[in-house]
């Protein structure tokens, strides 16, 4: 990265809406709004439209409730159901499995990227569930800036900030889950 790009996507603070577990929807809506999609949708309305998995499997829909922790549930929604839902509002591309450079290229072309990381970019804390092994400190942020040795994110818990690309990549590469949001 030899250039500095900051898209300046909005920041939706999920906790101010009472959504302890709504990071994927917040990050996606930030990207959709940036691309001028779903502008009439508030975060609260967006959450109420989110598909919920009947068996709390984030590979099928949102597992549990974005508003409260439920024992045994994994309150998250992963890439495929998030793509199916989000595609109703705007153009998305699954970048899961991509090297970080692909994510940076998307941002360089003006397309923010929902990335699955961990809360506060801490090391993943893995646990087993009926649907597989996942980090219980799962989190999603919107990647909306790049610079030499740094990336910028709009984080639904911690706000907007720059962090080292090394730290971002280490946590992103633990799962390689991402969605680009297009105009």
pLDDT of residue 71: 87
Residue 81 and residue 61 in contact, taking contact as beta carbons nearer than 8 Å? yes
- The pLDDT tens digits along the chain (183 residues) read 568 999 999 999 999 999 999 999 999 999 999 999 999 999 999 999 999 999 999 999 999 999 999 888 999 999 999 999 999 999 999 999 999 999 999 999 999 999 999 999 999 999 999 999 999 999 999 999 999 999 999 999 999 999 999 999 999 999 999 999 999
Look at residues 93, 76, 86 and name the one whose alpha carbon lies nearest to residue 135. 76
Helices 165-172 and 100-108, interaxial angle, to 10°? Answer: 120
Tokens 């929902």 map to which residue? 114
- Fill in the DSSP letter of residue 65: B
Look at residues 80, 119, 120 and name the one whose alpha carbon lies nearest to residue 96. 80
Residue 183 and residue 96 in contact, taking contact as beta carbons nearer than 8 Å? no
Q: What is the Cα–Cα distance from 119 to 50, expressed in whole angstroms?
A: 21
pLDDT of residue 38: 98
* Domains contained in the chain, CATH given: 5-182 (3.90.70.10)
Q: What is the Cα–Cα distance from 156 to 16, expressed in whole angstroms?
A: 10
Q: What is the number of other CB atoms lying within 10 angstroms of the CB of residue 32?
A: 23
Q: What is the Cα–Cα distance from 119 to 81, expressed in whole angstroms?
A: 21
């Amino acid at each position: 990265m030899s250039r500095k790009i900051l898209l300046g996507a909005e920041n939706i603070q999920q906790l101010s809406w009472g959504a302890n577990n709504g990071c994927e929807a917040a990050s996606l809506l930030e990207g959709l709004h940036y691309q001028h999609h779903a502008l009439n949708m508030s975060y609260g309305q967006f959450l109420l439209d989110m598909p919920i998995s009947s068996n709390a499997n984030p590979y099928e829909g949102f597992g549990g409730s974005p508003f409260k922790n439920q024992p045994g549930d994994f309150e998250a929604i992963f890439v495929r159901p998030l793509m199916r839902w989000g595609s109703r509002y705007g153009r998305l591309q699954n970048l899961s499995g991509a090297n970080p450079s692909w994510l940076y290229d998307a941002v360089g072309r003006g397309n923010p990227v929902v990335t699955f990381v961990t809360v506060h970019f801490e090391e993943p804390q893995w646990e087993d569930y009926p649907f597989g092994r996942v980090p219980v400190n799962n989190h999603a942020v919107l990647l909306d800036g790049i610079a030499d040795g740094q990336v910028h994110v709009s984080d639904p818990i911690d706000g907007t900030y720059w962090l080292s690309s090394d730290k971002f990549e280490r946590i992103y590469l633990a799962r390689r889950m991402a969605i680009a949001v297009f105009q």
